[in-house]
Amino acid sequence: MGERKYKKRKIKETRRQLPLDVYFKNTADSKTDLTSPLIEGTLARTEKGTEMPHLDELTHHLIVVSAASLRFNSREATLAALIHDYFKPVFDFGQTRWRHLITDDELYSQILSVFKESVDVNKVANISRWHHPKKEKDCNEICQIEQSGALSGLEVSIPFSLPKSQEFIITEHLRVAGPYRMFLLAHLRRKLIKMLSKKYSERFQEILGVSRIRYEYRPLNGVSTIEEAAEYIKKENWKIEIDNETMIIPLPSRFHRDLFYFEYYEESNVVIDVDENAKKIRGIRIPFGAALSTVYLTSSRDAYLLYVGAGFEQLALKDVIKEMLNDLKKMLDDYDLKKKKQKNEKQKSAFEQIDLDKIASSLTGRFNNDEACIFCGEPGEPIAENEKISSVLEDKFTDRWLLLRNAGVACPACKLGFEIEELFRPRRRLDEYIPYEALVSNVKILHDVPIFKETEFIRSISSKIWLELLSEIYYSLYFNKTKDSKEGSIKKEEEWIIKFFLNPTVLVYPYEIEITPQAMTVALGYQKKKFILQSGLHSSVVFPGNEKDLLPEEFLVLRKVYASNPELGIYLLQKLRDVYSPIFGVPEVKIKGGGSRARKRKH
C-alpha cells in the first residue's frame, strides 16, 4: 500500500477510535494544516421530530433570535434569547436529547451578575429554561420566535414559498429586470446593511445598554456534561462582561482548542481578525445588518429585501435610496479630492433631477404607464431633452439599434442607474457584486456524536443568510491587511494564508465543511465601455474574471490540486491570476528573488 493511502486510512481509523479531544491533540501539530478554518463555531440546532441538523451556526442563531426578541421591549426576554442555548457547545446528550439549558440558579446569578441591579434574573432564567414547552399554550417569547417563519422553514420553503412580512420578518418586494435595476439592487443592499446595522445597534443600546454583542467560544478540558461544565464555569468565575459598549458572552465549548469569537457590531464591513503568530483566524466581526438580512431572488424579475424585525419601523425604500445617493455623492467628492480634480458640471448637478417617489414606485412595480422602458421592459416614461439619460438618443450610443423599438422611453429606476454609471465611469471601474450562498462542497463528521449521523442539512431563511455570510467572509480575505503586506497582496513569508483562499473550510462542530464561495456579479464596467453592455447575472461564479469566470467546478479542481500538492500554493494563485484575471478576490503574489520553489521547479 502506498504511503499516502496508508496515512489517509490511519487518519480515518483515528477519527473512529479516539475521543475527539485526543484526535485534536494528535492532529494539531501537523506540518501542513490544509484545513485551518475560516470560522470555528457550533451547529445551531436540529429540526424537532426528525432531529435533522439545520445548516446554521449557533452564535448566528442566537443573534437572530435575540434581535427578534427586541420587539418585546423586555430586557429579560432579550437576555434570555442571547443565552438560551448556552450549553449546546458542550454536546451533552442524555437519552439522545441535546441537553443545553442552564438549570442552576447560582450559575444564572453569576453569569448575569453585571445586570443584577437592572434585570429580574429569575425571569431571565424562566424564559430561557422553558423555551421548549410541552404544551403550545406555554410557548414563551423565545418559543414564539423559533416557531416563526424566520427559523423553522424547511429547505423546500426557500425555492417554493414567497417571503412575506410577518411578526418577526420584514420584506420589501422589488422588480429587478435588467442590468440597471440589478446594479441599483447591489447598491441598495450595501446601504440597507449599513442602515440596519445602526438600527439593530441602537435597539440593543435602548434595551440592554450595549451596541455590540461578542460571543467567545472558550475551550473546556475534560468536560462531557453540562453539570461538569457548570462547575467549571463557577470555579473559573465566568460571567458576561461589558467592555466599551460591547457585551462579551463566554460560551463553554467541549471541542474548541483555542478561543474563537464572533462579534456582531454596528458597522458595514466584515472584518477578519488574523493571529499572524499562530497563523490562524481567531475571530470574525460581522455587521448586524449582514447577519440579519438578505436579498431573496425569486426569479429573473423579482427580488425581496428581507430582514429581521426588531421593534423599529420598516425602513422606507425612499429613505434607503436617498441615503444611498448621499453616499455616492461623497464617494465622487472623495475620489476627486484624492486625485486633485475639479468638479465638472455633471458632478455639480448629480442627482438633482431625481424624483425619489418615482424611483421607489418604479422599483416596487407600482409605477404605471403603457410604454415600456428601453432597458428593462418595465413601465417607463418619455425621456426629456434635459435629462442625463437623453444621451441614449444620440447617434454615438453604441447599441442604438437595440433601442429603436421603444426609443425615447425609460423607467425612473433605469434612469437613475444610467446617471450613476455616467458619473462614475470616467473615474473608476464599476465592479459590483452580491455575495451568494456558499456551496457545501464536502461534509465530514469529526466524531461519532449522538443524533448527528446525517451529512444532509435542513435549510431555513436563517441558513440562507449564514451561507451568504460565509461567501462574504471568504471575499473579505482579499481586503485583509497584515503587518507585512498591503491590501490585496501576499508576500512569500505569508504563504500560510494561501490555504484560506484555496481550501476554504468552516468548522461547525461536530462538522467540518468544505465550502465554495459564490458571487452574483451585477456590474463589470470599464471606462471606455458602457457597463450595460458588459454586465450579466452569474449566480454561480466564484471569481468573475476579465479573461474568464472561475466556476465552482473549476474551483473544486484547483482545490484538489492544492490538497495533493500544498507546496504549489503560491504558484496556483499566480496561475489563477494569469489565466482568469479575476476582478476581485484573488490577491497579488509578491515574491522576492524570482518566484517560489514551485515555480523554480517548473522551470
Rounded to an integer, what distance in angstroms lies between the CA atom of residue 575 and that of residue 598?
12
Write down the pLDDT at residue 64. Answer: 94
**Residue 34 pLDDT class (50, 70, 90 cuts):** low
The pairing of strands 588-590 and 489-491 is parallel
Write down the pLDDT at residue 482. Answer: 53
Model confidence over 405-423: pLDDT tens digits?
Answer: 556 889 999 999 988 888 8
* Over residues 162-185, mean pLDDT: 87
What distances in angstroms separate CA 70 from CA 66, 112, 239, 309, 365, one per listed residue?
A: 7, 18, 22, 8, 32
Of 149 and 472, the one with more pLDDT: 472
Out of 185-189, 324-328, 527-531, pick the least confident.
527-531
**pLDDT at 28 > cutoff 80:** no
Write down the pLDDT at residue 527. Answer: 55
Of 144 and 68, the one with more pLDDT: 68
Model confidence over 79-91: pLDDT tens digits?
Answer: 999 999 999 999 9
Out of 100-114, 139-153, 492-506, 544-558, pick the least confident.
139-153
Model confidence over 467-486: pLDDT tens digits?
Answer: 999 999 999 988 765 555 55
The residues, any chain, with a CB within 8 Å of residue 242's CB and separated by 6 or more, are: 114, 209, 210, 248
Rounded to an integer, what distance in angstroms lies between the CA atom of residue 245 and that of residue 22?
38
Rounded to an integer, what distance in angstroms lies between the CA atom of residue 284 and that of residue 262?
5
**Residue 311 pLDDT class (50, 70, 90 cuts):** very high
Percent of all residues in the chain with a pLDDT value above 70, rounded to a whole number: 78
**Residue 164 pLDDT class (50, 70, 90 cuts):** confident
**Residue 532 pLDDT class (50, 70, 90 cuts):** low
Write down the pLDDT at residue 539. Answer: 60
Out of 152-156, 267-271, 423-427, pick the least confident.
152-156
Write down the pLDDT at residue 352. Answer: 78
Write down the pLDDT at residue 19. Answer: 37
**Residue 57 pLDDT class (50, 70, 90 cuts):** very high
Write down the pLDDT at residue 556. Answer: 94
User: Of the candidates 313, 356, 359, which has an alpha carbon nearest to the alpha carbon of residue 174?
Assistant: 359
What distances in angstroms separate CA 71 from CA 150, 172, 290, one per listed residue?
A: 14, 19, 19
Rounded to an integer, what distance in angstroms lies between the CA atom of residue 50 and that of residue 456?
12
Write down the pLDDT at residue 593. Answer: 41
At position 214, the amino acid (one-letter code) is R
Out of 152-166, 188-202, 282-296, pick the least confident.
152-166
Burial class of residue 547, CB neighbours in 10 A (0-12, 13-18, 19+): exposed
**Residue 12 pLDDT class (50, 70, 90 cuts):** very low
Out of 129-138, 364-373, 539-548, pick the least confident.
129-138
Across 1-5, 118-122, 155-159, 547-551, the highest mean pLDDT is recorded for: 118-122
Write down the pLDDT at residue 562. Answer: 92
Q: State the cell numbers at 549.
A: 469566470
Average pLDDT, the chain: 81
Model confidence over 537-584: pLDDT tens digits?
Answer: 556 789 888 778 899 999 999 999 998 998 888 889 888 888 888 887
Write down the pLDDT at residue 105. Answer: 86
Q: Which run of H or of E encompasses 186?
A: helix 179-208
Q: Which residues of 400-422 are buried (b: 16+ CB within 10 A; e: fewer)?
A: eeebeeeeebbbbbbbbbbbbbb
**pLDDT at 203 > cutoff 90:** yes
Write down the pLDDT at residue 528. Answer: 56
Write down the pLDDT at residue 591. Answer: 56
**Residue 216 pLDDT class (50, 70, 90 cuts):** very high
Of 374 and 440, the one with more pLDDT: 440
